Structure 1
Amino acid sequence: MITVLLRVTAVCALGGALAACGTAQPPEAPRPAASVVPASPAPARPPTLAPGPAGLAPVFENGPRTPDRTVALTFDADMTADQGPRAAAGERFDNPRLIAALRELKVPATVFMTGRWAEEYPDQARSIGRDPLFEVANHSYSHHAFTGDCYGLPTVPAHRMRAEVERAYTAFRAAGVPDAKPYFRFPGGCYDQRALRAIAATGVTAVQWDVVSGDAFATDADAVARQILDGVRPGSVVVLHCTRSAAPATERAVRAVVPELRRQGYRLVKVSELIGAAAVRR
């Protein structure tokens, strides 16, 4: 009897094992595919003009004179390399109230900044450079002249001109300006073929202007505003300054000029938009 029971038990155990081996396992749930995050597109390179004759750096003065009434207000943030002691003594080469006014009025603008200015006011340089309302462009590192006899400015030797441009971009990056534009304004607006040849390898477009605001050392904001409004035409580039000590009336002039330009049908733009329009027409 014990033998029979053992056999029955063994058979049952074997049958159970066979049944277990033959049982289909539930299919494994499919694993979700790894998500692929598309790479952010590289930012488009800002428009520039083609090199001039003999490979000289191109020069831009104004946009197309078209019915699209655009105008660019540009601001030179001047500080020369030897003005550090004056800044340390309390002289102000910045103008936060001007920048605040541009933001309040929602004015796109191009700020031509010296490298020395960015070093002195890195927080402001970074704030301007990261604000999509503005674009930062190059006004040299030291604000020394690229020709002789330029408003009494010290002169940069020809073999140092390219380094002046490149050193300014280095100062911008150190201050946290992420995307300074490939536009260069000569200190004092003074240049010649030697200067254009010297900076050509940097790939910049030299940006001048066709409307002088007259704000440098001016104290009469109304006179500055009248001079701008009298000179503006479609495509104009207006030169102003972002320096409290040397251009104390600029903020007040801007507050008068901007509403009047808009009333006349002008659209305020950055220099890059004017250069882009000019490049298309060439």
Structure 2
Amino acid sequence: MNILHLNKGQLMKQIILLIGVCFLVSACSDTLPADMHTEIKSSTHQKAPIQAQDDSITINHYDRSPSEWGEFVSGVKTQLDTNQKQIALTFDACGGAHGSGYDQAIIDYLIEQEIPATLFMNKRWIEENPDTFQQLANNPLFQIENHGTHHKPLSVTGKEAYGINGTKDAQAAYDEVMVNQDHISSITGEAPSYFRSGTAHYDDVAVDLVEALGLEVVNYDILGDAGGTHSSDEVEESLLQARAGSIALLHMNQPSSGTSGGVQAAIPQLQNDGFEFIKLDQADLK
């Protein structure tokens, strides 16, 4: 079209049309005004709220006051959901300056007798015992689960247990779970399904957070060795209190404790009483 032959009104219409087309083209192109580029670049470098497994839930949802605290708060599983004479032996490996040992005697006994067990592994213990961890993870008798990153009670307010400060807020609770979760997954290729905190203490909000991350919180109904402080006779006596569906809490990081002797004394008696030993993932929990 030759705009030289247009009258004034027609010329104005054509100019308006051309301006509109220019705006449409610029909106669909990668060329944006400088201030718009700055805004987009800034937003992509901001730390987004951490998302739980359910994308509709953010960490901010758990910044609320808890109403329960302890080892047996709402949501914590303490037994197998079965009426059969089945027991789950669970062993914690806690890590740290006084907890990175390896009770090879108890593990060797479990392997020799083909007794399955669930091992809750702390990130510090894994880092101190990388070759042993890999061997245990490769053994089908054992199920590897998450015992936290720094072995802290799981709290959203920093509440302590046994003189150990809990995680200070929901973000710290998330990190206590997920840093070790990712660490274990990166080594084994499998993500843990269960979590037990350091000291086995939680508040109810922290338990809700763990569940939203897709894990079950597991404690016990048999305190097998009291953190590796019981004598072998006391460990044996504790385990012989088992009933259908019991979960026993023991330790595999204190080789000088009475745990190994007590476990080796109790297992044959329990087997004679008709009990079967299983891993946690072989039954539902309650």
Q: Could you state the TM-score of these two structures normalised by the residue count of structure 2?
A: 0.68
Name the structure 1 match of 2:245: 235
Corresponding position: 1:184 with 2:208: no
Q: Is the 8 A contact 1:109 1:134 kept in 2?
A: yes
Name the structure 2 match of 1:222: 233
Name the structure 2 match of 1:257: 266
Matches within 5 A, 1:60-71: 60-66=77-83, 68-71=84-87
Q: Is the 8 A contact 1:116 1:171 kept in 2?
A: no
Decide which structure has the larger Cα Rg and report it.
Answer: 1
Q: Tell me the distance in 2 between the aligned counterparts of 1:237 and 1:92.
A: 23
Name the structure 1 match of 2:209: 198
Whichever residue aligns with residue 110 of structure 1, its letter is T
Counting matched residue pairs gives 212
Matches within 5 A, 1:69-148: 69-80=85-96, 83=97, 92-147=100-155, 148=159
- Offset, 1:262: 0.4
Q: Tell me the distance in 2 between the aligned counterparts of 1:57 and 1:177.
A: 31
Identity of aligned residues (%): 27
Q: Is the 8 A contact 2:122 2:148 kept in 1?
A: yes
Flag structure 1 segments of 5+ consecutive residues without an equivalent.
Answer: 1-53
Q: Is the 8 A contact 2:101 2:253 kept in 1?
A: yes
Q: Is the 8 A contact 1:125 1:177 kept in 2?
A: no
Q: Is the 8 A contact 1:129 1:136 kept in 2?
A: yes
Aligned structure 1 segments of 4 or more residues deviating by more than 4 angstroms: 54-58
Flag structure 2 segments of 5+ consecutive residues without an equivalent.
Answer: 1-60, 63-72
Q: CA RMSD in A?
A: 2.4
Whichever residue aligns with residue 78 of structure 1, its letter is C
Name the structure 2 match of 1:154: 165
- Offset, 1:215: 4.5
Q: Tell me the distance in 2 between the aligned counterparts of 1:115 and 1:92.
A: 10
Q: Tell me the distance in 2 between the aligned counterparts of 1:188 and 1:93.
A: 17
Q: Tell me the distance in 2 between the aligned counterparts of 1:132 and 1:107.
A: 11
Task: Between 234-243 and 163-172, report the one with greater CA deviation.
Answer: 163-172
Q: Secondary structure at the match of 1:61?
A: coil
Q: Tell me the distance in 2 between the aligned counterparts of 1:204 and 1:259.
A: 32
Inter-CA distance 258–146: structure 2 relative to 1 (3 Å threshold): same
Q: Secondary structure at the match of 2:234?
A: helix
Inter-CA distance 92–112: structure 2 relative to 1 (3 Å threshold): closer
Q: Secondary structure at the match of 2:233?
A: helix
- Offset, 1:115: 1.1
Q: Tell me the distance in 2 between the aligned counterparts of 1:103 and 1:150.
A: 34
Inter-CA distance 196–215: structure 2 relative to 1 (3 Å threshold): closer
